[in-house]
């Protein structure tokens, strides 16, 4: 979130491209000069070759213009390559920042579509080497051509100015007419894509309960809204593009006619009227190109603004001072918290402490705040008030790259990543074979893996789709235990485990405690309490009971159970 001021990374990335843009501009000057070669060739043929009837002169002029054409195409290729390389450098400089912003937004519950943000980056990158941007670069150089037309005949120059003003007016009208429909179409496209992504993620639920028909209708409604708005923008843009081409063609003919009139008056050479017609087209060409590509320009501006807003909202995290390895002393101090961006309080003044090597089971009914508390304990979500401290340090502010090796976390919703079992267990770092095997042995997964044809190198599929629910749960649990971390938080770790899995989980918790790891378990299944020392009862976001498991269970079973006494306050 906005914790400190940061220069716009998007604008900084564009500023870094200025040397490339300058090179492209210099090449554009040469290109626009060489573009005049056909006009110069025509004038020389009419004025020199026709009058002298020299075949040698014609041959040499033709050879020269062929060489100019070859040079022109080579320079065009170099110019496009410069802009292409600039686009790649732009993408390279920003892709990590965009990925980081998407990641931060998802952590904090912001409705930012990762795929859309990456598409926005791609849209801006592809605009850099596009003909539309090159036309923008060429537009100032059209003034050189205009000066040449004025030099030939001032009247022709004013005609060209009138044509340029007409094109500019068409461009202004075009921008005003298509801006709102195009913005609406882009928003509808983002909405439809996001809805489709959600449908694909939940395809099995939709298929099993026959929901596809109604879901499809809802998606079609959003898609239709996008198509209607895009059609309106396309109609306006097409009309204005046709009008722009009409002005360009008309100006060429009018310049030819006026040039003929000036020739008849003896104020212009015969070849001049044809050259003036050609040059008039060169004056308007960049404007025509820009108008014809205006939808791309608008889409790029929209993508640019979305990216800039997201990168400003989620700046790079500040570099924090390195802290020593934690011992596992957990202190929760008057925490009031809820989902990021929400004002609803899920946790209401939660406080407790767990000593290094201690264990705590947090139990309570659904919607009591267990998962929210788990996310705060590992520093995923911030608190509204109060602190979660590990060894006295605010865990939310701790550098996660540094802290991660000491933390084990099993979320309620298990997610694996495409790769092998060994890669998932080792958290996609350099796998330590002994540590991978030890983590899998602790959760009772080693025998199953060793029976697989590829063993630990078995692919788990996208989101672990090649494994059963229980197998995914155990792989994720092994990932949490990899490297024997100092602080482990398990949210409903036995939700998908059978009896053998439960036994392995209890054994793993005992092994963690034996080597000094602090273990916190969110659960509603009390059979796990055999491996846990303390127990906290969470009801409606508040601590109702705290003590040893035996004390709390006895108090809960007593018919005269009242509010917690001072001896039952959450400290251990």
Homologous superfamily of 330-568 in CATH? Answer: P-loop containing nucleotide triphosphate hydrolases (3.40.50.300)
Note the Cα 474 to chain centre separation in Å.
31
Cβ neighbours of 551 (radius 10 Å): 15
Q: Answer for the pair 58, 49: CB distance below 8 angstroms, yes or no.
A: yes
What is the rounded distance in angstroms from the CA atom of residue 414 to the CA atom of residue 473? Answer: 6
One digit per residue, pLDDT tens: the chain, 572 residues? 444 445 678 888 888 888 888 888 888 888 877 877 777 787 778 777 777 778 888 888 889 889 988 998 898 888 888 888 888 888 888 888 888 888 887 777 776 666 778 888 888 888 888 888 888 777 777 777 778 778 877 877 787 778 778 877 877 777 777 777 877 887 788 778 777 877 776 776 676 667 778 788 888 888 888 888 878 877 777 777 777 777 777 777 777 787 788 778 877 776 667 777 677 767 777 777 776 677 788 788 888 888 888 888 887 777 766 778 888 999 999 999 988 888 889 999 999 999 999 999 999 888 889 999 999 999 888 899 999 999 999 998 888 888 888 999 998 888 888 889 899 999 888 888 899 999 999 888 888 888 888 888 988 887 777 888 788 888 999 999 998 899 999 998 887 777 887 888 888 899 999 899 999 999 887 888 888 999 999 999 999 999 999 888 888 887 655 544 433 445 55
Which whole-number Å values give the CA distances from 204 to 124, 209, 217, 472, 496, in the listed order?
Answer: 36, 9, 18, 17, 18
* Fold of the CATH domain 141-292: ABC transporter transmembrane region fold (1.20.1560)
Spell out the domain ranges in the chain.
1-130, 141-292, 330-568
**Which class for 215: exposed (0-12), middle (13-18), buried (19 or more C-beta within 10 A)?**
middle
> Model-level pTM greater than 0.95?
no
Reference 20, options 84, 97, 93, 103; nearest CA is: 84
């Amino acid at each position: 979130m906005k914790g400190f001021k940061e220069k716009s990374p998007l604008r900084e990335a564009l500023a870094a491209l200025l040397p490339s843009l300058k090179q492209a501009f210099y090449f554009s000057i040469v290109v626009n000069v060489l573009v005049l070669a056909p006009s110069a060739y025509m004038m020389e043929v009419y004025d020199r070759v026709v009058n002298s009837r020299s075949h040698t002169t014609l041959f040499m002029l033709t050879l020269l213009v062929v060489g100019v054409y070859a040079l022109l195409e080579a320079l065009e290729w170099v110019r496009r390559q410069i802009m292409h390389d600039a686009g790649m450098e732009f993408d390279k400089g920003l892709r990590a920042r965009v990925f980081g912003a998407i990641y931060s937004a998802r952590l904090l519950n912001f409705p930012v579509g990762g795929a859309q943000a990456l598409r926005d980056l791609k849209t801006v990158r592809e605009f850099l080497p596009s003909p539309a941007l090159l036309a923008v670069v060429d537009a100032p150089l059209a003034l050189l051509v205009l000066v040449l037309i004025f030099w030939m005949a001032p009247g022709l120059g004013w005609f060209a100015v009138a044509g340029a003003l007409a094109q500019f007016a068409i461009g202004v009208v075009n921008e005003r007419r298509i801006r709102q429909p195009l913005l609406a179409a882009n928003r509808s496209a983002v909405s439809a894509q996001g809805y489709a992504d959600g449908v694909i993620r939940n395809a099995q639920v939709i298929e099993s309960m026959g929901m596809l028909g109604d879901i499809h209708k809802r998606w079609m409604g959003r898609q239709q809204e996008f198509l209607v708005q895009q059609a309106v923008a396309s109609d306006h843009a097409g009309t204005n593009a046709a009008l722009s081409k009409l002005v360009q063609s008309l100006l060429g003919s009018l310049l030819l006619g006026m040039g003929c009139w000036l020739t008849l008056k003896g104020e212009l050479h015969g070849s001049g009227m044809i050259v003036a017609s050609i040059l008039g087209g060169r004056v308007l060409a960049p404007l025509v190109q820009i108008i014809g590509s205006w939808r791309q320009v608008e889409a790029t501006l929209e993508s640019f603004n979305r990216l800039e807003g997201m990168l400003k909202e989620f700046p790079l995290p500040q570099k924090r001072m390195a802290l020593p390895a934690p011992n596992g002393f957990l202190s929760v101090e008057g925490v009031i918290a809820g989902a990021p961006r929400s004002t609803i309080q899920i946790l209401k003044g939660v406080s407790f402490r767990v000593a290094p090597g201690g264990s705590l089971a947090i139990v309570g009914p659904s919607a009591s705040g267990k998962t929210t508390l788990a996310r705060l304990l590992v520093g995923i979500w911030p608190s509204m008030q109060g602190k979660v401290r590990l060894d006295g340090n605010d865990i939310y502010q701790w550098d996660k790259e540094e802290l991660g090796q000491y933390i084990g976390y099993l979320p309620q919703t298990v997610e694996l990543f495409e790769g092998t079992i060994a890669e998932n267990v080792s958290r996609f770092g350099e796998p330590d074979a002994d540590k991978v095997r030890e983590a899998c042995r602790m959760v009772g997964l080693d025998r199953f893996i060793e029976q697989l044809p590829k063993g630990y190198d078995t692919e788990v599929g996208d989101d672990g789709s090649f494994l059963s629910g229980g197998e995914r749960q155990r792989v994720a649990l092994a990932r949490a235990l990899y490297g024997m971390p100092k602080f482990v938080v398990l949210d409903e770790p036995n939700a998908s485990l059978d009896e053998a899995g439960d036994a392995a989980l209890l054994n793993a918790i005992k092994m963690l405690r034996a080597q000094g790891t602090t273990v916190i378990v969110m659960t509603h299944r009390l059979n796990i309490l055999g491996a846990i020392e303390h127990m906290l009862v969470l009801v409606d976001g508040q601590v109702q009971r705290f003590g040893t498991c035996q004390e709390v269970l006895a108090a809960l079973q007593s018919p005269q159970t009242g509010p917690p006494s001072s001896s039952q306050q959450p400290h251990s």
